[in-house]
Amino acid sequence: MKPTLFVLAAGMGSRYGGLKQLDGLGPSGETIMDYSIFDALRGGFGKVVFVIRESFDKDFREKIISKYENKIPVDVVYQELDKLPAGFTVNPERTKPWGTNHAVLMGKDVIKEPFAVINADDFYGKESFAILAGYLAKLEGNADEYCMIGYRVGNTLSESGTVARGVCETNEQELLTGVVERTEIERQDGEVKYKDENGVWVAIPDNTPVSMNMWGFTPDYFEHSESYFIDFLKEHAANIKAEYFIPLLVNHLIVNKISTVKVLDTPSKWFGVTYADDRQSVVDKLQSLVNSGEYPTPLW
């Protein structure tokens, strides 16, 4: 069975006021997500599941899903604030979603095969999808063996300012041992550097792996997500800003030697609209990929 692509799109309607972030950036008005679905299909994925907010359903189906429906099977699940384990209620002051791992949990009833998780508004590159699909196809029937695409930090920077990245630490088997969030990374005088806790700029090699939220899991991950979410809520339910992120659970599973996460190197360049000034650069990069024959135009 082919793996499934799980696209995190629940932040869309709320974060940008409707569909503004589904901006047409490609030469024929394609969104970044259009390229991800295209690459996933040719890379070996067999189905796409979107997690969205229910209030966004009609717009999303009309403007987004209608494009893909005849090309690849599509499913939709909903992330809502009140989708909590028994015994927990939402603080009425909370407006923020519960985070990326809560979004992943919404897929448990429709995903029964190995699956990848990506952000809706990031460009990941065709090699990454092929590498991930190939690895996930070998995990059918396995448990607690996960993976993630490790982007070379030099391939993920913005020309418009510093970026935050999860810098990965790995062992000799390329298994993830930890992710350290570095909030200010940029290229200075040809070297990639991050600012450490003491305000000192530290140089790191260009090929240092970083996480761009492109993960590969098997369905048992949902069980871990449910049980750890209960622990998370016991501690943080009253905090209206607390979020249940994927790296939080992944780190727990690694530290407690419950699961392993293989870091898969990719030559792909990641890009996205981190700053408003990045928009034109993304448009230019997509145009250049079309000009070089990587993608047709229009895409669909």
Residues of the chain where predicted confidence (pLDDT) is lower than 70: 12-22
Q: Do 31 and 23 contact (CB within 8 A), yes or no?
A: yes
- Tokens of residue 190, six digits: 């040809």
CA dihedral 38, 42, 45, 49 (to 10 degrees): 10
195-228 pLDDT, tens digit per residue, is 999 999 999 999 999 999 999 999 999 999 999 9
- The per-residue pLDDT for range 268-296, each reduced to its tens digit, is 999 988 777 888 999 999 999 999 999 99
Q: What is the pLDDT of residue 159?
A: 84
* Cβ(284)–Cβ(268) below 8 Å: no
Task: Specify the pLDDT at position 12.
Answer: 62
Kindly report the pTM of this predicted structure.
0.93
The pLDDT assigned to 17 comes to: 47
Helix axes of 32-43 and 126-137: crossing angle, nearest 10 degrees: 40
- Identify the structural domains of the chain with CATH numbers, from first to last: 4-148+211-242+271-291 (3.90.550.10)
pLDDT at 297: 94
- pLDDT at 210 (0 to 100): 97
